[in-house]
Amino acid sequence: MAKLSQEDLLAQFEEMTLIELSEFVKAFEDKFDVTAAAAVAAAPAGPAAAAEAVEEQDEFDVILTGAGEKKIQVIKVVRELTSLGLKEAKDLVDGAPKPVLEKVAKDAAEKAAESLKAAGASVEVK
């Protein structure tokens, strides 16, 4: 069997349906005892598949938009959520709007936003 170039392989993958590509990936993983999840996301599968492959946002930023009435409570929560010292947390709260957490999972972002809101801060999750 002749060795295929990377371009030839990509051309073959481009012609495959998502189901065929999924079956190929499973066979590849079984044969070589690897996980190819990242490779599947990066492999081109044609324009129709590209529209289907749009994923839900999985990284969120928690942005403090205002400290509210209970600034000291908000500073305490910021210190709990981050590893900032007292001065850094106070500067962050005083300089609002500023990001408190960046690129965190959805559940962590929601939990942080709830904690900050409970302390009296106004928060935005992006």
How, if at all, do strands 98-104 and 122-125 pair? unpaired
Mean pLDDT score of the chain = 80
pLDDT of residue 50: 47
Kindly state the average pLDDT of the residues 109-119.
Answer: 88
CA 94 to chain centroid, in Å, comes to: 27
Helix (H) or strand (E) holding 99: strand 98-104
> What is the predicted pLDDT for the residue at 39?
46
C-alpha to C-alpha distance for 110 and 107, rounded to whole angstroms: 5
